[in-house]
Amino acid sequence: MCLFQSMIYYFPEEVLEHVFGFLTSHRDRNAVSLVCRSWYRVERFSRENVFVGNCYAVGPERLISRFPRLRSLTLKGKPHFADFNLVPADWGAFVYPWIQALVNSGVHLDQLRLKRMVVSDESLELLARSFPAFKSLVLVSCEGFTTDGLAAIASNCRSLRELDLQENEVEDQRGQWLSRFPDSCTSLVSLNFACLKGEVNLAALERLVARCRNLRSLRLNHAVPLDALQRILVQAPHLVDLGTGSFVHDPDSETYNKLKNAIQKCTSIRSLSGFLEVASWCLPSVYPLCSSLTSLNLSYAPGIYSNELINLIRHCKKLERLWILDTVGDKGLGVVASTCKDLQELRVFPSDLHGAAYTAVTEEGLVAISAGCPKLNSILYFCQQMTNAALITVAKNCPNFIRFRLCTLNPTIPDAVTQLPLDEGFGAIVQSCKGLKRLSVSGLLTDRVFLYIGMYAEQLEMLSIAFAGESDKGMLYVLNGCKKLKKLEIRDSPFGNVALLEDVGKYETMRSLWMSSCEVTLGACKTLAINMPRLNVEIINENEHIEASPDDRQKVEKMYLYRTLVGRRTDAPDFVWTL
Amino acid sequence: MESLVAHDNVLNLKATELRLGLPGIDESEKETASCTKNNKRSLPDQLVEDSGKKGEVDAKHGDHEAAPAAKAQIVGWPPVRSYRKNSFQQKKTESETGFYVKVSMDGAPYLRKIDLKVYKGYSELLKALENMFKLTIGEYSEREGYKGSEYAPAYEDKDGDLMLVGDVPWDMFMSSCKKLRIMKGSEARGLGCGV
């Protein structure tokens, strides 16, 4: 033992660095950096990929000075509930200051991945001008930019490999951004512009695809018609991931035949998505691809109904990931269960947001999937109704869930058969799924479900609660029980000050807490903020102006608190009050 | 068409009246507003249409007018990303062209509406039109259109062009038809036959 200890003491740093190079997870690297000062030093000089889960937890200058060899930065901005319009526009999460700091510091940034951030055209232009060797831009659920910003990236980043735009709100300036890729650009490996609403220059697109021989992932927007797709596939038969644009054509035409031939030659496609506009009679043309598909996303395809989906799915025996609309029906899910034995992730989205769909799925579909797909570990399921019995069966069939998100379209619906709360069902899930990291609950729920969660969900990191619980006890069970909890988001539930203030130290072990339309008062938030200087406690108050001396007994509409090293942020708008 | 304009003027007060609740007597108002809005939902400010006309599962063709009472809209529920919500609403209005469509007949005082989803093919549709308007349309032929009748069924497609009913496959017709028009007399003959 002594010999070993002294060997570690004299370990050359180059060796340590080499060993650390095998650590890909940022958590492992974080752990390693806590071992001792020399490990901290070696680790920080060798970390190239940096992940920041909350852009307000740390400042860009401090980050860059700790990791001077930073090459790839991942930043997440707004709280998760911003996806559902619960956070007002202009709340924050601007990327510009980060890019400015990166430019000033002289780091060689080649990858930027942003989620739920506000990205202006100016920031994209600054990025593009300052980092000509930039390789990869991934924007997920961001907003604030237009196609002009994309044009700047296209024209300046000469060795761009990846431009991946997922579900962003992008304003179309009709500036022909795609044509701005110079003829010398041949480096693209991945191009995803499915979320763009405007027209694209098809000729420029086809030329781009033709010269980028390494292109493996291409996702088109709705403005790319089927005939253009056909020409593109002829140029790029080596694609691994394809997202179609518009998929409508006369099935008797020459173009359609050519498409079928082109598809036959695309033997590498493993992931298929898009169909942003689709005619059911055209779907059979993709059947030849189905037998090798591991990922299929039809959740944006309008107007394809159960039978057509079933016909398609029957061919997809190797599917590992399936995103689909609830038009698939319980019957369709039964077919998925009997066909897709390798399924790991399933997402069933609602097709009718008002919950009156005749073809919404129920607990039957979920049970069928759990029985047929033993490898299932991640599910997002929007359903018309649920029962405890079904959830108990699912828990027994699938003990391997890492992510379990259930959303009943009516948020407080009870067990469809017994009319009881769904406590026992979710209780079974957390008890059985020992590796559960993420959970969203819905339906009629009392404090009991939270007792179960606190007791059993030992690995839980993220919990989403809406319209659930009866008293502070519920929230307390969770805060006391879930030791690994990182993110807790609660809306419209009767949790108040007692729960909030019971263990204020807990919040420094978490990334963030969101509470809206709960029973928490301004006074309690103030108390929390005073006692915990390393937390930012934000009160978001869109409707009224913040009065000079508001009543401490007033309930707070929206509270968002998060741990931070940099204190209150300087870019908060008027309606955000950091206590 | 002229009669509809008069109708609209009369209803103008109603059009600006703020109300919530089931459309009820507003049915005709909604119809003049847009020919692509089919299946009426309860709250007038909603863009998303009821998708009750889902293929084989939906047997309640007649129920379209009697949509269930709308639930109160909860902000952010169901928790679907706004990007998905927005793109979906857009899609829904687009994909619903060609189910409930207006049918006009030259010379008739008012229009009718039919649900194309109800018919399995052209022959059923034509029979229904013949019944509705008490006329004969005759047999379709590619070369000569509709012989044996002074009426020809035409439709306006997505591009706004007036097309003869019967040329394209039924499914394709269904998804591109925006409104039907039964043409009469010499105009009909011009559209129909090659002679």
8 Å CB contact of B57 and A359: yes
| Residues of chain B contacting A305 with CB distance shorter than 8 Å | 54-57
Phi first, then psi, for residue A211 (nearest 5°) are -90, -15
Residues 370-389 of A with CB under 8 A from B: 382
| Residues of chain B contacting A249 with CB distance shorter than 8 Å | none
Number of Cβ within a 10 Å radius of residue A32: 18
Region for residue B185 given its phi and psi (left: phi exceeds 0; alpha: psi -120 to 50; beta: otherwise): left
Contact indicator for A452, A430 with CB cutoff of 8 Å: yes
In sequence order, what E strands does A432-529 have? 438-440, 462-466, 487-491, 512-516
pLDDT in tens, B56-66: 333 333 333 33
pLDDT for residue A158: 93
Q: What DSSP character marks residue A362?
A: -
B45 touches chain A (CB under 8 A): no
Spatial neighbors of A340 by CB under 8 A, at least 6 apart, are: A313, A316, A317, A318, A319, A322, A372, A373
pLDDT for residue B68: 41
B77 touches chain A (CB under 8 A): yes
Kindly write down the DSSP assignment for every residue of A515-566, as one continuous string.
EESSB-BHHHHHHHHHH-TTEEEEEE--SSPPPSS--TTSBPSEEEEEE-SS
Size of interface A-B (CB pairs under 8 A): 118
Residues 326-365 of A with CB under 8 A from B: 327, 329, 349-359
Number of Cβ within a 10 Å radius of residue A568: 15
Supply the pTM of this predicted model: 0.78
Residue A169 pairs in a beta bridge with A143
pLDDT for residue B42: 34
What residue type is assigned to position A397 of the chain?
Answer: N
Residues 74-93 of A with CB under 8 A from B: 81, 83-86
pLDDT for residue B175: 75
Contact indicator for A353, A384 with CB cutoff of 8 Å: no
Spatial neighbors of A555 by CB under 8 A, at least 6 apart, are: A518, A519, A520, A521, A522
8 Å CB contact of B95 and A307: no
Contact indicator for A212, A187 with CB cutoff of 8 Å: yes
pLDDT for residue A402: 98
B163 touches chain A (CB under 8 A): no
Residues 469-498 of A with CB under 8 A from B: 491
Those residues of chain B that have pLDDT short of 70 are 1-72, 89-98, 185-195
Contact indicator for A449, A468 with CB cutoff of 8 Å: yes
B58, B87, B90, best to mutate vs chain A, most A CBs in 10 Å: B87
8 Å CB contact of B57 and A358: yes
Average pLDDT of each block of 10 consecutive residues along chain A (579 residues)? 58 86 90 91 92 96 94 97 93 96 94 97 97 96 96 95 96 88 95 94 95 97 94 96 92 89 95 92 93 96 85 96 94 96 96 67 96 97 96 97 96 96 98 98 97 97 97 97 97 96 96 96 94 94 65 91 94 89
A144 touches chain B (CB under 8 A): no
pLDDT for residue B45: 35
3-state secondary structure of B82: helix
